[in-house]
Amino acid sequence: MELMMEETEGVYTFYHAVGKEVEVFEQVYQNKLPILLKGPTGTGKSRFVEFMANKLGIKINYD
């Protein structure tokens, strides 16, 4: 388990990895594959996506 922090343009995002989800997501992104995140409400799916977007330099549009 690892607590990670990313900073982009003065915005910090935190995520507590519990497995190899960060490495898997990076590989999925690099290979332009779709991914489905599934889990109960409050398990960190949105936080994970925000963290990975920040880590990969992708801006999320909330409109």
Residue with tokens 């519990």: 18
pTM metric for this prediction: 0.80
CA gap 7, 54 in Å, rounded: 7
Q: What is the pLDDT of residues 15-57, one digit of tens each?
A: 888 899 999 999 999 999 999 999 999 999 999 999 999 889 8
Per DSSP, 62 falls in state: -
Per DSSP, 44 falls in state: S
- Give how many domains the chain has, as a whole number: 1
Beta-carbon contacts of residue 2 (< 8 Å; ≥ 6 apart)? 16, 17
Range of the domain at 19: 2-56
* 47 located within any domain: yes
User: Which amino acid is it at 34?
Assistant: P
* 62 located within any domain: no
Q: Are strands 2-8 and 11-17 parallel, antiparallel or unpaired?
A: antiparallel
